């Protein structure tokens, strides 16, 4: 099947070069969103067949496959917004019909148009799509202190919602540029606001935005090794937090640059989860804790240190449905910070979802906890790595234990 994909803007009177106009004039079957149909209707041939692009997309592709004209070899002409390869429909065609013949006539994408209106160079723009997507990549851009971030929005991830999230986690050193109805001669509007102003505003759809620093030195560096005294603690008890040097060595043992999903079981103050999120923002981090008072503590600490995106699961881990938690990816690194004497049960439960080659790490303070870990490794056929023993100041020595799922 042959697809001719044409990018358009919101201009209700679009202009095309002669080559594209000939493609449209000779076309028989067209497709696009309802808004694209409204814009293009005056230029379509009288007998044109139109197929709306709506969700679910599988149903749309079924219509393509069974269209009599397309079965006869007619090309399908698809109208999309902007550049079809920029988070666009051409990528969907390539994924669903990899053998399809695709010809592209792109337009500027919305973030390019917004940069043009702002006369802002965009070769260094970090681009994130929140259109039908979770916060993960946006949070990653913030944590990595990207200086300019271009964001594609939707009705849930609005400019106001984005501004509020940034303020909640302390990323207040940016200003926000919002473009609405870009390309429409009557409705287009570009506004530059502070995050506080944007958090209280309503913007019409479609829109997109660019975040830029308020000043050249306003984006603070992210911390490496958070001082223990900076954390909100459980009942003020300093011994309940994994100390910073131990914390960093634990993250090194978890080998997180090569991991995708970290589970932190028994998070207490959240120090391991937060440090991991800040140093390895590509990670999906899920934190578990049985003590209800710890939920407020991890949220306070995550906001204090600018670590959005940690999924918090409260309750007895042995009663949690691991398959439900693992829907966004099976864990391949697991830190056990607390087990309440049920270490074998916890390891056995995690093994039902642990990715092949995934591993467990636990910090042992007593010979008894090390013995429990060793017994669990033997029982479940885990490969136990050499441990690391470290003593910090006047605290008892800690042994960092690691075991790998080999199959």
How many other C-beta atoms can be found within 10 angstroms of the C-beta atom of residue 247? Answer: 20
Per the structure block, which two tokens stand in for 373? 């870990």
Return the percent helix, strand and coil in the chain, to nearest 5: 35, 20, 40
Please report which confidence band the pLDDT of residue 217 belongs to, taking 50, 70 and 90 as the band edges: confident
Please report which confidence band the pLDDT of residue 253 belongs to, taking 50, 70 and 90 as the band edges: very high
Taking 80 as the threshold, does the pLDDT of residue 3 lie above it?
A: yes
Of the listed ranges 117-126, 364-373, 388-397, the least confidently predicted one is 388-397
Per the structure block, which two tokens stand in for 256? 């997180």
Give residue 223's pLDDT: 81
Nearest partner of 264 among 244, 247, 245, 287, judged by Cα: 287
Give residue 61's pLDDT: 96
Give residue 152's pLDDT: 97
The 10s digit of each residue's pLDDT in 46-59 is 999 999 999 999 99
Please, which residues bridge with residue 101 across strands?
Answer: 2
Give residue 240's pLDDT: 67
Give residue 150's pLDDT: 98
Cα angle at 337 between 334 and 338, to 5 degrees? 120
CA distance 267 to 239: 14
Taking 70 as the threshold, does the pLDDT of residue 69 lie above it?
A: yes
Compute the average pLDDT of residues 28-52: 95
Give residue 187's pLDDT: 94
CA distance 59 to 54: 8
As a whole number, the mean pLDDT across the chain is 93
Compute the average pLDDT of residues 342-354: 94
Cα angle at 268 between 264 and 271, to 5 degrees? 65
The 10s digit of each residue's pLDDT in 176-208 is 999 999 999 999 999 999 999 999 999 999 999
Taking 70 as the threshold, does the pLDDT of residue 84 lie above it?
A: yes
Please report which confidence band the pLDDT of residue 406 belongs to, taking 50, 70 and 90 as the band edges: confident
Taking 90 as the threshold, does the pLDDT of residue 218 lie above it?
A: no
Give residue 238's pLDDT: 67
Please report which confidence band the pLDDT of residue 239 belongs to, taking 50, 70 and 90 as the band edges: low
Taking 80 as the threshold, does the pLDDT of residue 219 lie above it?
A: no
Task: Please report, rounded to a whole number, the percentage of residues in the chain having pLDDT higher than 90.
Answer: 85
Give residue 317's pLDDT: 92
- Indicate the SS3 state at residue 80: strand
CA distance 253 to 400: 8
The 10s digit of each residue's pLDDT in 227-238 is 988 998 887 666
According to DSSP, the β-strands at 311-314 and 29-32 are: unpaired
Compute the average pLDDT of residues 267-294: 95
Compute the average pLDDT of residues 136-147: 96
- The beta-carbon contacts of 43-50 under 8 Å, at least 24 apart in sequence, are 43/14
Q: Specify the pTM.
A: 0.90
Please report which confidence band the pLDDT of residue 130 belongs to, taking 50, 70 and 90 as the band edges: very high
The 10s digit of each residue's pLDDT in 374-383 is 999 999 999 9
Give residue 234's pLDDT: 81
Per the structure block, which two tokens stand in for 330? 């099976």
Nearest partner of 206 among 18, 340, 35, judged by Cα: 35
- The beta-carbon contacts of 295-298 under 8 Å, at least 24 apart in sequence, are 297/232, 297/233, 297/234, 297/268, 297/269, 297/270, 298/267, 298/269, 298/270, 298/273, 298/274
Give residue 237's pLDDT: 65
Give residue 375's pLDDT: 93
DSSP H helices in 229-304: 244-254, 271-279, 293-304
The 10s digit of each residue's pLDDT in 19-32 is 999 999 999 999 99
Give residue 83's pLDDT: 96
Alpha-carbon distance values, 321 to 314, 327, 352 (Å)? 12, 11, 10
Compute the average pLDDT of residues 70-97: 95
Compute the average pLDDT of residues 137-152: 96
Give residue 206's pLDDT: 93
């Amino acid at each position: 099947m042959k697809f001719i994909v044409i990018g358009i803007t919101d201009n209700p009177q679009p202009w095309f070069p002669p080559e594209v106009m000939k493609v449209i004039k000779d076309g028989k079957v067209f497709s696009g969103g309802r808004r694209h149909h409204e814009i293009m209707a005056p230029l379509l041939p009288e007998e044109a067949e139109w197929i709306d692009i709506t969700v679910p997309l599988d149903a749309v592709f079924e219509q393509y496959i069974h269209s009599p004209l397309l079965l006869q070899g007619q090309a399908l002409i698809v109208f999309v917004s902007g550049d079809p390869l920029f988070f666009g429909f051409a990528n969907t065609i390539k994924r669903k019909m990899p053998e399809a013949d695709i010809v592209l006539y792109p337009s500027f994408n919305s973030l390019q148009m917004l940069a043009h209106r702002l006369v802002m160079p965009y070769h260094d723009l970090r681009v994130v799509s929140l259109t039908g997507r979770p916060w993960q990549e946006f949070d990653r851009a913030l944590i990595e202190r990207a200086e300019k971030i271009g964001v594609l929005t939707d009705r849930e991830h609005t400019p106001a919602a984005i501004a509020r999230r940034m303020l909640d986690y302390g990323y207040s050193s940016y200003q926000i540029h919002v473009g609405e109805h870009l390309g429409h001669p009557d409705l287009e509007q570009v506004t530059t606001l502070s995050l506080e102003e944007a958090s209280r505003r309503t913007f019409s759809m479609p829109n997109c935005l660019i975040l830029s620093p308020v000043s050249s030195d306003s984006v603070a560096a992210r911390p490496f090794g958070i001082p223990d005294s900076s954390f909100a603690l459980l009942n003020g008890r300093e011994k309940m937090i994994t100390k910073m040097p131990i914390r960093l060595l634990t993250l090194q043992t978890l080998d997180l640059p090569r991991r995708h999903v970290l589970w932190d079981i028994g998070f207490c103050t959240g120090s391991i989860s937060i440090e991991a999120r800040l140093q390895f923002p590509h990670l999906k981090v899920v934190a578990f804790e049985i003590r209800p008072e710890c939920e407020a503590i991890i949220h306070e600490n995550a906001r204090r240190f600018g670590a959005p995106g940690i999924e918090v699961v409260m309750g007895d881990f042995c009663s949690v449905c691991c398959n439900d938690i693992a829907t966004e990816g099976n864990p391949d690194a697991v830190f056990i910070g607390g087990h309440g004497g049920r270490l074998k049960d916890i390891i056995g439960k995690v093994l039902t979802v642990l990715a092949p080659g995934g591993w467990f790490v636990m910090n042992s303070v007593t010979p008894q906890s090390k013995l429990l870990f060793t017994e669990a490794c033997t029982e479940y056929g885990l490969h136990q790595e050499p441990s690391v023993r470290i003593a910090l100041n006047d605290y008892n020595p800690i042994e960092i234990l690691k075991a790998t799922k080999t199959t």
